[in-house]
Amino acid sequence: MRTFVIIALTALSFIGCSHSPTGPSTSTGSSTSGSSTSAVTLPVYPISGVVMEGTRPLAGVTVDQGYGPGSWVVTDANGAFQLPAGGVPLGWLRATKPGYVEPCAVRIAGNGPFAVQMVSLSALTGTPLSSPSGFRTVSGVVRQMTSDTLQGVAGAWVDFEPDPNNTDWLAAVTLTDVSGRFSLCGLPQDAALIGAVSGTAFGRTTVPSDQTYIEIDLHP
């Protein structure tokens, strides 16, 4: 995760979020659970959706779902995308564009269409965000020891890592505000792995299903 974060922070490539009501699914047995570890039935047909910044379609966003190299697509002028069927997706959509983050994860359930909402860095705050039904918001603060006290860390990278065996693949990303506060939404109801990085210091914690506020302490 640390290597990926350092590269991604340099490129300022981030993720976008939020669910829209999905249309009728033509796949069978697709998971609708908020679980980050439950098996996901592959959709029979391509997965489609749109990436937005508020009410504005966002073009030039790279979207994938964990297929691997060569399977990413880029949104068109209307913010629309279509991912191919097949492969081995991780069960979450990922969208990246320089200058934006995705504080809210998007769980794949059926074929869509899905709405992915991205937030520009200039519009980020640490205010708790709302989550779709069946999912939860986890907010908190990132801290680091300064002299003899713990201080909030501004501009720290915070992410949701849906696969504990692949912590370089992130389903939601945000940055802390000037006080070190952050909020991630659209997270599963079961245990969720959250990571944080600032410079060469990092921290990671598993948030229990009944917890919505955390404090992450960074260590070299």
In CATH, what number is assigned to the domain containing residue 113?
Answer: 2.60.40.1120
The domain total for the chain is: 2
Do 115 and 128 lie in a common domain? no
pLDDT in tens, 38-89: 444 555 568 899 999 999 999 999 999 887 666 789 999 999 999 887 666 7
Residue 195 belongs to what domain range?
Answer: 124-218
| 27 within a domain of the structure (yes/no) | no
Task: Give the ranges where the chain is alpha helix by DSSP (H).
Answer: 2-11
CB 128 within 8 A of CB 25: no
The answer to whether residues 134 and 105 belong to one domain is no
Asked whether residue 13 carries a pLDDT value surpassing 90, the answer given is no
Q: Is residue 214 part of a domain?
A: yes
Query: DSSP secondary-structure letter at 55?
Result: T
Q: Is residue 117 part of a domain?
A: yes
Beta strands at 47-53 and 114-117: parallel, antiparallel or unpaired: parallel
> Which residues touch 89 (CB under 8 Å, ≥6 apart)?
40, 42, 65, 66, 67, 108
| Helix and strand counts by DSSP (H, E) for the chain | 1, 18
Q: Same structural domain for residues 90 and 176?
A: no
Is 132 found in the same domain as 80?
no
Assigned domain for 142 exists: yes
Closest to 193 measured CA to CA, from 168, 218, 176, 175: 168
Q: Based on the fold, state whether residues 117 and 128 are members of the same structural domain.
A: no
DSSP 59-70: -S-EEE-S--TT
DSSP string for residues in 92-115:
EEEEE-BTEEB-B-EE--SS--EE
pLDDT at 69: 63
- Which pTM value belongs to this model? 0.79
For residues 154 and 108, membership in a common domain is answered with no
Do 104 and 139 belong to one domain?
Answer: no
pLDDT tens-digit profile of 14-47? 333 333 333 323 233 333 345 444 444 555 568 8
Does one domain contain both 113 and 8?
A: yes
Q: Quick one: 92 and 181 in the same domain? A: no
